[in-house]
Amino acid sequence: MANSKLWTDVRPSADLARRYRELGFWRDLTPAADLRRWARETPDAVAITAHQAGSGVRRLTYREYAGQVDRVTAVLAELGVGPGNVVTVQLPNCWQLHTVVLACARLGAIAAPFVTTIRARELELMLSRLEPVAHVTMQAWDGYEYSAVLASIADRLPSLKHRVIVGGRVMPGEIDLEQRMEEADSARLGTDYSAEDPDRVSMPLFTSGTTGGPKAALHSFNTLYVGYTQTAMRSELSSADVLFTPHALGHILGQIFTNMLPLYLGAEALITDTGDPATVARLLAEYRVTFVIGAPVFIDAIAQAARLQNQGLPWLRLVVATGTTVPASLVSTVRDDLGVTLAAGWGMTETGGASQTSPDEDPPDWAARSIGRQFGGVEADLRCDGEASAGNPARLFVRGPNVCLATMPRDNGEVSVLAEHDDGWYDTGDLAVPDGRGGLRLAGRAVDRIGDGFMIPAADVEDALRQHPDIIDAALVGYGPGNELPCAVVVTRKPLTLDEVRAYLDGIEMTEWYQPRRLELIEQLPRNPTGKVDKHHLRSWLAEFLFS
């Protein structure tokens, strides 16, 4: 399947859809149906608390939330949006983003949210690939003119019929969403929900492209449903919980944990457009947040901010660090500063949530040693020559109802339907080993492997480096022919030498050939929008520095 125009028609086989429904992993409903349920059953319960820097806080009950979604649905319907049409959305963390996603679900359309850090070149590539009939954005935010950029590329996007603006000045040729919502007649929608389809592609989500070319993971509502419902069960979440993630709502974690999971539970979501850890810590306390999930770097910043301002978080009962390996120091930070035991989860844009540790069942420090056991229905296959071990980690493949239906590179239309390759197994690009308790331990990315023959366990070395009293942050990358030599790139409190670092590692009895052969001091490690260290950037920088 190589024609980009066919990607909107991708769906699972009837046999696969039937089997996953019989096993309870998929269902016949969409998140829009969840919203209607809670608007009927608990109309006065708070659905969203939205903190917008500069404009205060707005709290929406389920009744109000459903009404806003109906009005957005009516506007999109009047614009001709219907089944199979694509609506792209680039907004900061605001409640309006979720209303567009749910309106598309009601209409059988496809909502594609983007993070706000995407700029003109990449935005045009993504829009050219997805061919939206409408793009929803803001006039300006954080110093960037989003509507002007969209206007500058619109003539090169033949599918784009409508430029829809949320907030700010609206220019000729643009549609003021808020004004059109006031004028819309949502009663004309009726009660026909037949366009809602949880099996077809409903949400393309782009990967960051840090270790490869950016691509869209083509998810249905059902493939996303697996991860968040399993998270709810393993974390024992209910309608009494208040959920928060520091990630962008255009990212898979933002969609799952502040949109779909709260709607499934009938719970409350806290969202904010600020990344300031001190403000976030204050909001977590003020709105009695009980569940936080995010990348380790974001969790660490929030915990430190809570400590610095002596901000108690008595309602918090579970914090999950996800997406990458968890430093041992973060386990103690969360315990000491937030008063809870840290859990670790794992997933990626292509797989949604796939595994999680359990603070009730696992040792207290297990988040630093494992990504937990797979969720129900999720299969893992470790592939390597010989037995998987720290020096010989296996490539991790996954299969199950959580894996996206297909992928599509941003820069071409070569759609790959996963069920048609390798019996449905997806190569995650991660390296892993058994954790000894029925789960897995990450050993790094295959593209980041270091070593000639046996691999150096970069995650273990990085964790050990971060425990040095004068090292704030660390990454281990390869250099030399084949990237076989380890270089430690570190952020320090004071200057350090390679000999001093190796002496410290000798003191904790680290294997000699694991240890760095080179040390580079840096003010801050480069990270992508999801909080992961951009090792491709570090390797390129190091190669240019050493060999130019």
| Residue 83, domain CATH | 3.40.50.980
Instruction: Tell whether 522 is covered by a domain.
Output: yes
* Of residues 470, 476, 541, the one with CA closest to residue 514: 476
pLDDT-above-70 percentage for the chain:
96
Mean pLDDT on 67-73: 97
Instruction: Tell whether 75 is covered by a domain.
Output: yes
Report pLDDT for 447: 79
Comparing 1-5, 296-300, 359-363, 394-398, the range with the smallest average pLDDT is 1-5
Q: Which of 145, 172, 197 marks a domain boundary? A: 197
Give the Cα-Cα-Cα angle 386, 390, 396 (nearest 5 degrees).
65
3-class SS string, 93-154 = CCHHHHHHHHHHHHHCCEEEEECCCCCHHHHHHHHHHHCCCEEEECCCECCECHHHHHHHHH
Q: Which residues contact 181 (CB under 8 A, 6 or more apart)?
A: 68, 71, 72, 74, 75
Scan for tokens 């309608």, then name that residue. Answer: 239
The answer, yes or no, to whether residue 51 has pLDDT greater than 90, is yes
pLDDT in tens, 166-197: 988 999 999 999 999 999 988 889 999 999 99
CA dist., res. 150 & res. 180, Å (int):
20
The answer, yes or no, to whether residue 4 has pLDDT greater than 70, is no
Burial class (CB in 10 A: 0-12, 13-18, 19+), 235: buried
Report pLDDT for 547: 58
Q: Which of 172, 197, 222 marks a domain boundary? A: 197
pLDDT in tens, 487-508: 999 999 999 999 999 999 999 8
Mean pLDDT on 43-60: 95
| Residue 64 host element (H or E) | helix 62-78
Instruction: Tell whether 47 is covered by a domain.
Output: no
Residue 52 in 3-state DSSP? Answer: strand
Instruction: Tell whether 326 is covered by a domain.
Output: no
Report pLDDT for 1: 37
Instruction: Tell whether 425 is covered by a domain.
Output: no
Instruction: Tell whether 368 is covered by a domain.
Output: no
Q: DSSP labels for 484-525?
A: -EEEEEEEESS---HHHHHHHHHHTT--GGGS-SEEEE-SS-
We report the CATH number of the domain holding residue 484 as: 3.30.300.30
Report pLDDT for 54: 81
pLDDT in tens, 508-538: 888 788 899 999 999 999 988 778 898 888 9
Report pLDDT for 86: 98
Report pLDDT for 485: 87
pTM: 0.88
DSSP H helices in 320-440:
328-333
pLDDT in tens, 125-170: 999 999 999 999 999 999 999 999 999 999 999 999 999 999 889 9
Domain that holds residue 88: 29-39+57-197
Q: Which residues of 529-547 are buried (b: 16+ CB within 10 A; e: fewer)?
A: bbbbbbbbebbebbeeeee
| Residue 473 host element (H or E) | strand 471-479
Instruction: Tell whether 485 is covered by a domain.
Output: yes
Report pLDDT for 2: 38
Q: Which of 164, 197, 230 marks a domain boundary? A: 197
Q: Identify whether the C-beta of residue 364 lies closer than 8 Å to the C-beta of residue 336.
A: no
* Of residues 105, 109, 108, 149, the one with CA closest to residue 126: 149
Lookup: tokens for 151: 């206007």
The answer, yes or no, to whether residue 26 has pLDDT greater than 50, is yes
The answer, yes or no, to whether residue 480 has pLDDT greater than 80, is no
The answer, yes or no, to whether residue 3 has pLDDT greater than 50, is no
Number of domains observed in the structure of the chain = 2
CA dist., res. 345 & res. 350, Å (int):
15
More confident residue, 168 or 255: 255
Mean pLDDT, the chain, as a whole number? 92
Instruction: Tell whether 352 is covered by a domain.
Output: no
Question: Residue 234: pLDDT band by 50, 70, 90 thresholds?
Answer: very high
Report pLDDT for 371: 96
Comparing 204-213, 268-277, 352-361, 453-462, the range with the smallest average pLDDT is 204-213
Question: Positive or negative, the Cα torsion across 487, 490, 496, 501?
Answer: negative
The answer, yes or no, to whether residue 93 has pLDDT greater than 50, is yes
Report pLDDT for 209: 55
CA 270 to chain centre: 16
Question: Residue 544: pLDDT band by 50, 70, 90 thresholds?
Answer: confident
Give the Cα-Cα-Cα angle 343, 348, 352 (nearest 5 degrees).
80
